[in-house]
Amino acid sequence: MGTEGSSVEISEPFLGEETQKIRAVEDTDHHQIPEWKDQITIRGLAVSAILGSLFCIITHKLNLTVGIIPSLNVAAGLLGFFFVKSWTSFLSKLGFHVKPFTRQENTVIQTCVVACYGLAFSGGFGSYLLALDDRTYKLIGTDYPGNRVEDVKSPGLWWMMGFLFIVSFLGLFSLVPLRKVMVMDYKLTYPSGTATAMLINSFHTKTGAELAGNQVRCLGKYLSISFFWSCFKWFFSGIGDSCGFDNFPTLGLMLYKNTFYFDFSPTYIGCGLICPHIVNCSVLFGAIISWGFLWPFISQHAGDWYPADLGSNDFKGLYGYKVFIAISLILGDGLYNLVKIIAITIKEICNKSTKQSNLPVTTEVLDGESSKLLTEQKRRDEVFLKDRIPSWVAASGYVGLAAISTATMPLIFPPLKWYLVLGSYIIAPALAFCNSYGTGLTDWSLASTYGKIGLFIFASLVGTDGGVVAGLAACGVMMTIVATAADLMQDFKTGYLTLSSAKSMFVSQLVGTAMGCIIAPLTFWLFWTAFDIGSPDGPYKAPYAVIFREMAILGVQGFSELPKHCLAICCVFFVAALVINLLRDVTPPKVSQYIPIPMAMAVPFYIGAYFAIDMFVGTVILYIWERINRKDAEDYAGAVASGLICGDGIWTIPSAILSILRINPPICMYFGPSSSG
């Protein structure tokens, strides 16, 4: 029934059931759930600050080298458990009485850490803030049309901290009223959040249930396999951009050029096992449409539709088509679902006689065997809804913060006038919803894509006199809001599955964001003062700084500067997203379960087809597993998926440390066409 209804029939057995089977035998533990205030502890906050600093360093490192940041939720949950458990064991041996370490406290720690290191990415230290720097200005060229010396603002520790404090908290307040809709009613997957919840649950299982024990062993086994495989891959990844298994032309060199290859990523195979089949198939369908047909077709018109000699990241060329068509699909899907949610919610509010919410996918047919699971689900629902965050708190918090930010933002960025800041805060919640919804489906937060929307709109509105600064600042506002909103919803999903209070989740997110506003600029400052950031010949090239500045310059010149037919194709895909969603809603479930999801289709348009191949491999493994032994698949698919995601996530830390220490992989495994000699 509706968009999410058809997908939930596939996803639920591997998410709700999987996590709850660990909990199903723990009825005696229910009354021991601590109050929300007790879930937030001093030791938890101390560990969060340590891990937040570590993850910020890793994120900056990746931001300034490749610009792609993996999800570190699972690593945060695992390391949080390791630190606190080690500390409590140490104190116990010394004879001190220590407070038990609960799954709720573990969840609060990982929430805090994710909120903290999230700002190292969305804070723009490798993109929009660095694009304002003098080095980036000179790198593009002082004689480049539209590149003005007046549009330069070099990084400064204090103004960067102030900027983060006035924009980072708005995203948290924007979507709080929709947490029930996103997590309970729509049952969005949030693969990293679910994997983290399962990991945390497995750590804190107290009873000796055979299945739970087997699941923990299964998770540990695949976590180890994933970790050592990622370690093995590192040795062959060399220094070049196209070395190693991550660039293995599995399907041949011709398809490799169009990003069709299997890159042996445990993370995305795990996502494929966790995500519903329809999501994985939609991602692959989007990859085939874009990289299989659309981009090769547009490339044939190079020299006619756009100049043939442009760089791969020039918005006046093929890159412009990729970004804007992806944005049009994302907006079409997100806005359709936003309008649908608002309409249904208003209808429910008006219909006072209906006690039971009748939103899509709340009704599920359960057989006799599922009665225990239904009891467990009711328990989760009770805990999640018990400590309510009143809507007026969220609304007044958002309005108050928006007012402060509207007044202070022009002091930091003078070209961004107060009425433009206010306008951005009016439309930001809609974009925050779009991003949270997309992250729930695919685990990809497209915060930077939404930031680009703000960048282009505001740069073109302000024009040549300060448009570059205004566009980049507006990009920062949009990015931080939509990124923190998606992180919050991902953590609400983790909290829901670990029986943690929604209020403790929200408070820990606020604390983590406050930590991030201080730690992220400080850790960036270490890199800024120690290394030659932005040097084309150095290790920290900061590739996205140049891209973002060029985008802002293009935005000032207006959308007319985009290549031929780009806006027309965008309109076609926007309408297509609306039509596909409408078809999913009006057709019977037997048909609608095979109709792709536009939001999932859009992701590979922009990023590439390689991760779609990985996710499809995951879905094929799951499909075959279900056919061979459905019960086994239901019991262990979630554990295998979580293990694969966790292992790869944990390897991120040693690999980043090796990179920071400038220890390069010894071998570059490279594949090229055979010579005919």
- What DSSP letter does each residue of 466-492 carry, written as one string? THHHHHHHHHHHHHHHHHHHHHHHHHH
105-114, 514-523, 526-535: segment of lowest average pLDDT:
526-535
Which candidate, 51, 50, 38, places its Cα nearest to that of 77? 51
Q: Please state, in angstroms and rounded to a whole number, the distance separating the CA atoms of residues 465 and 452.
A: 19
pLDDT at 14: 36
Which candidate, 522, 499, 557, places its Cα nearest to that of 103? 499
150 within 8 A of 137, measured Cβ to Cβ:
no
pLDDT at 3: 30
Q: Please state, in angstroms and rounded to a whole number, the distance separating the CA atoms of residues 289 and 420.
A: 37
Mean pLDDT value across the chain:
79
The DSSP line for 168-210 is TTHHHHHSGGGHHIIIIIS----HHHHHHHHHHHHHT--S--H
pLDDT at 225: 92
Q: b/e per residue, 510-526, with b = 16+ CB within 10 A?
A: bbbbbbbbbbbbebbbe
With cut-offs at 50, 70 and 90, classify the pLDDT of residue 8.
very low
Which alpha helices (DSSP H) does 498-629 contain, by range?
502-530, 543-557, 566-586, 589-592, 598-607, 610-628
pLDDT at 344: 67
Q: Please state, in angstroms and rounded to a whole number, the distance separating the CA atoms of residues 23 and 496.
A: 13
pLDDT at 538: 61
Q: Please state, in angstroms and rounded to a whole number, the distance separating the CA atoms of residues 431 and 436.
A: 9
Q: Residue 466 phi/psi, 5° resolution? A: 95, 5
Positive or negative torsion for Cα 353, 355, 358, 359:
positive
Judge whether residue 93 has pLDDT over 90. no
Q: b/e per residue, 100-137, with b = 16+ CB within 10 A?
A: ebbbbbbbbbbbbbbbbbbbbbbbbbbbbbbbbbebbb
94-108, 298-312, 330-344, 610-624: segment of lowest average pLDDT:
330-344
Judge whether residue 403 has pLDDT over 90. yes
Which has more confidence, 271 or 65? 271
Judge whether residue 68 has pLDDT over 60. no
pLDDT at 162: 92
66-80, 254-268, 479-493, 636-650: segment of lowest average pLDDT:
66-80
pLDDT at 365: 47
138-147, 279-288, 564-573: segment of lowest average pLDDT:
138-147
- Highest mean pLDDT among 13-27, 59-73, 247-261, 537-551 belongs to 247-261
Q: CA 291 from chain center: how many Å? A: 22
Judge whether residue 15 has pLDDT over 70. no
What is the average pLDDT across 319-340?
A: 79
Burial (0-12, 13-18, 19+ Cβ within 10 Å), 586: exposed
Judge whether residue 361 has pLDDT over 60. no
645 within 8 A of 195, measured Cβ to Cβ:
yes
* 3-state helix, strand and coil shares in percent for the chain, rounded to the nearest 5: 75, 0, 25
Q: What angle do CA 9, 12, 18 make, to 5 degrees?
A: 150
Which alpha helices (DSSP H) does 24-132 contain, by range?
42-65, 73-93, 103-122, 128-131
pLDDT at 370: 59
Q: Please state, in angstroms and rounded to a whole number, the distance separating the CA atoms of residues 232 and 246.
A: 12
Model confidence pLDDT, tens digit, residues 384-393: 878 778 888 8
The DSSP line for 137-172 is HHHH-TTSTT--GGG-----HHHHHHHHHHHTTHHH
pLDDT at 677: 44
Residue 317: HSE in the Cβ half-sphere, 13 Å Cα cutoff? 15
pLDDT at 337: 76
pLDDT at 511: 94
422 within 8 A of 401, measured Cβ to Cβ:
no
Q: Please state, in angstroms and rounded to a whole number, the distance separating the CA atoms of residues 110 and 587.
A: 41
234-248, 347-361, 601-615: segment of lowest average pLDDT:
347-361
Residue 584 falls in which region: left (phi positive, over 0), alpha (psi -120 to 50) or beta? alpha
Q: CA 409 from chain center: how many Å? A: 26
pLDDT at 240: 58
Which has more confidence, 638 or 224? 224
What is the average pLDDT across 303-311?
A: 79
Tokens of 496: 């829901």
Residues in Cβ contact with 218 at an 8 Å cutoff, skipping those fewer than 6 apart: 636, 639, 640, 643
- Highest mean pLDDT among 48-57, 204-213, 237-246, 648-657 belongs to 48-57
Judge whether residue 176 has pLDDT over 80. yes
Q: Please state, in angstroms and rounded to a whole number, the distance separating the CA atoms of residues 616 and 634.
A: 18
Model confidence pLDDT, tens digit, residues 482-524: 999 988 898 899 989 888 888 888 999 999 999 999 999 998 9
Model confidence pLDDT, tens digit, residues 575-593: 999 999 999 888 888 888 8
Which amino acid is present at 261?
Answer: Y
Which has more confidence, 219 or 363? 219
pLDDT at 364: 44
**Residue the block writes with tokens 């297509």:** 576
Q: Please state, in angstroms and rounded to a whole number, the distance separating the CA atoms of residues 276 and 161.
A: 40
589 within 8 A of 323, measured Cβ to Cβ:
no
**Residue the block writes with tokens 């328990």:** 379
Model confidence pLDDT, tens digit, residues 111-170: 999 999 999 988 889 888 988 988 888 877 777 677 888 888 888 899 999 999 999 999
Q: Please state, in angstroms and rounded to a whole number, the distance separating the CA atoms of residues 2 and 587.
A: 9
pLDDT at 422: 92
